[in-house]
């Protein structure tokens, strides 16, 4: 099967049909790319829809009532997602993160979670199964998610001040309901919980200390994320990026911190611990400090395109293999070939990519493959 570009279901992002090699080598669990990076983490977008219109992800002026989201027939079914996840696990994936859009908008998501929670690594270990959410539906769904086998959640929360939060989500959604969702997730045992705050200079940097004060002394790990240049719809500008070093300095001035070692290889967050024992924070320096060198993540879009970098402009259409009657062995061999050819390191080469912006290639949007 030769490489070729095929028509897209959504006409947005370039994708090619993966090549199936003649020799179908079975997965060994030790798959590595050209830079020696192992595949360990698969992020699965289950919907391209969201009920928020955050300016850094889905600004309302772009994602308005006229915007055409993917039809249901284009989405991978739960059975297709599980089949692909099983193949990725055979290649060495140990962590599955469900994302979106807002994943809790996908109907009967707990059914998929139940299917994924039954998967095991080659040595019989359960997977790390987690979900990222804006928590707007978490109060209602936390118990069902936990009962289905979800282990923990990461909640996006960009401010504690209600006016700031409503302005940023642009859906007039109150911060109190997000905090209620976090509390309910804690109550049912979905933890440890992480809370992600995207810091956008001139918009919410005044909330950094308020967020730190609120989550200090709890089991919640607060993480600050630099405003990223993902896609093209958010109008990203470098002067709106607040470097993580400035965030750490601001918190350290009130609550002294010390650096601690990463919890796992490939971890995106730099960890800091409060000296008084009140927990830890994390910073994700996706703009000012590249972490390509030990990246171990792949991303599966809502309709089955495999992206190897958050800043990619080209995907690999695995759905064409699923619905074209390819065997598991053929799909596994195709995925292996794709990962083995990977040498992406966008964050380390950001300047060169920015200089080539005139190329006309469109980078994938955050809502489409998740963070």
Classify residue 2: in a domain, yes or no.
no
Classify residue 5: in a domain, yes or no.
no
Within its chain, how far is the Cα of 62 from the centroid? Answer: 21
Classify residue 9: in a domain, yes or no.
no
Specify burial of residue 273 (Cβ count, 10 A radius: 0-12, 13-18, 19+).
middle
Does residue 265 or residue 337 have the better pLDDT?
337
pLDDT above 70: residue 356:
no
What pLDDT, on the 0 to 100 scale, is given for residue 354? 46
Where residue 195 falls among pLDDT bands split at 50, 70, 90?
A: very high
What pLDDT, on the 0 to 100 scale, is given for residue 210? 98
Classify residue 333: in a domain, yes or no.
yes
CATH code of the domain covering residue 147: 3.20.20.70
pLDDT above 90: residue 324:
yes
Note the pLDDT tens digit of each residue in 67-121: 999 999 999 999 999 999 999 999 999 999 999 999 999 999 999 999 999 999 9
The boundaries of the domain holding residue 104 are 14-369
Distance CA 288, CA 255 (A): 23
Q: Mean per-residue pLDDT for 142-150?
A: 98
Classify residue 175: in a domain, yes or no.
yes
- Computed over every residue of the chain, the mean pLDDT equals 87
Classify residue 6: in a domain, yes or no.
no
> Rg for the chain (alpha carbons), in Å?
20
What pLDDT, on the 0 to 100 scale, is given for residue 349? 54
Count of helices and strands (H, E) across the chain: 11, 13
What pLDDT, on the 0 to 100 scale, is given for residue 333? 96
Classify residue 4: in a domain, yes or no.
no
Domain count, the chain: 1
Where residue 337 falls among pLDDT bands split at 50, 70, 90?
A: very high
Classify residue 144: in a domain, yes or no.
yes
């Amino acid at each position: 099967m030769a490489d070729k570009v095929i028509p897209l279901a959504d006409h947005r992002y370039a994708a090619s049909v993966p090549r199936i090699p003649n020799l179908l080598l079975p997965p060994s669990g030790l798959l590595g790319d050209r830079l020696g990076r192992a595949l360990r983490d698969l992020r699965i977008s289950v919907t391209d829809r969201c009920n928020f219109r955050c300016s850094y992800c889905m600004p309302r002026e772009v994602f308005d009532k006229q915007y055409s989201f993917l039809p249901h027939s284009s989405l991978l079914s739960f059975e297709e997602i599980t089949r692909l996840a099983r193949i990725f696990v055979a290649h060495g994936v140990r962590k599955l993160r469900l994302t979106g859009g807002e994943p809790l908008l996908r109907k009967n998501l707990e059914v998929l979670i139940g299917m994924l929670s039954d998967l095991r690594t080659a040595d019989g270990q359960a997977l790390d199964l987690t979900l990222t959410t804006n928590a707007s539906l978490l109060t209602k769904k936390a118990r069902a998610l936990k009962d289905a086998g979800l282990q923990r959640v990461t909640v996006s929360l960009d401010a504690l001040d209600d006016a700031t939060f409503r302005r940023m989500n642009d859906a007039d959604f109150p911060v109190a309901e997000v905090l209620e969702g976090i509390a309910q997730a804690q109550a049912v045992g979905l933890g440890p919980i992480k809370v992600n705050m995207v810091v956008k200079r001139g918009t919410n940097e005044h909330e950094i200390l308020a967020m730190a004060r609120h989550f200090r002394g709890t089991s919640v790990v607060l993480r600050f994320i630099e405003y990223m240049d993902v896609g093209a719809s958010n109008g990203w500008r470098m002067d709106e990026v607040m470097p993580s070093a400035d965030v750490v300095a601001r918190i350290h001035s009130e609550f002294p911190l010390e650096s601690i070692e990463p919890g796992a290889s490939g971890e995106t967050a730099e960890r800091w611990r409060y000296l008084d024992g009140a927990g830890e924070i994390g910073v994700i320096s996706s703009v000012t400090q590249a972490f390509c060198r030990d990246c171990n993540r792949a991303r599966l879009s809502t309709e089955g395109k495999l992206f190897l970098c958050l800043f990619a402009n080209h995907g690999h259409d695995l759905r064409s293999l699923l619905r074209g009657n390819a065997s598991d062995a053929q799909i596994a061999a195709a995925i292996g070939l794709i990962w083995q050819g990977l040498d992406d390191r966008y964050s380390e080469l950001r300047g060169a990519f920015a200089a080539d912006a005139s190329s006309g290639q469109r980078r994938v949007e955050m809502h489409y493959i998740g963070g």
